[in-house]
Amino acid sequence: MTSETDEAAYFSQLDYDLVDYVSQLREGILEAYTGIVTGFKKTDKTPLLFNHVVSILDLIQRCLKDEDRTDATMRLSYGLLGDLADTFPQGQIKQYLLSPWIANELRAKFKMPGETKKTMRWAREVRLVLESFDDMKLTCPGV
């Protein structure tokens, strides 16, 4: 019986280690994307990011869906959403940012640290600005 208990404890610890590893990996990737998006913001190279928006949003969605997500992962995800919206201010990615999952995610959450709420509000405000653009500006010039 002792070996079974030890084995269960080992797997439990392995699970926690794996969850921690995945969280750290996602945080690193989100930070890297944030640096890349910020670096391209307000430059003539911004159109190069356009083809990668869907995969970046897919990562953000996966991170925010994870039940074991950390506060840092949430804050980085919301910040990256806001940075993407801010990088394409003419509405080029409006159709992606108005997705229902993003709208649901940017609704106020009660059990959330102050810094994360602040970042989420900023992302929501930047996203709302895009709603004012007409649908004729949905393509990215130069792509």
pLDDT of 1 over the 60 cut: no
Higher-pLDDT residue of 104 and 27 is 27
In the chain, the number of structural domains is 1
DSSP letter for each residue of 77-105:
HHHHHHHHHHHSTTSTTHHHHT-HHHHHH
How does residue 127 score in pLDDT terms, banded at 50, 70 and 90? confident
Q: Is 56 within 8 Å of 33 (Cβ atoms)? A: yes
Tell me, what amino acid is at 115?
Answer: E
pLDDT of 39 over the 50 cut: yes
Domain annotation covers residue 123: yes
Domain annotation covers residue 142: no
Domain annotation covers residue 59: yes
Range of the domain at 87: 2-137
Domain annotation covers residue 105: yes
pLDDT digits (tens, 9 = 90+) for 105-120: 888 666 777 888 888 8
Domain annotation covers residue 22: yes
Chain centroid to Cα 97, Å, comes to: 11
pLDDT digits (tens, 9 = 90+) for 69-96: 899 999 999 999 999 999 998 889 999 9
Which segments of the chain does DSSP mark as H helices, in order?
2-40, 47-50, 53-65, 71-87, 94-97, 100-105, 114-130
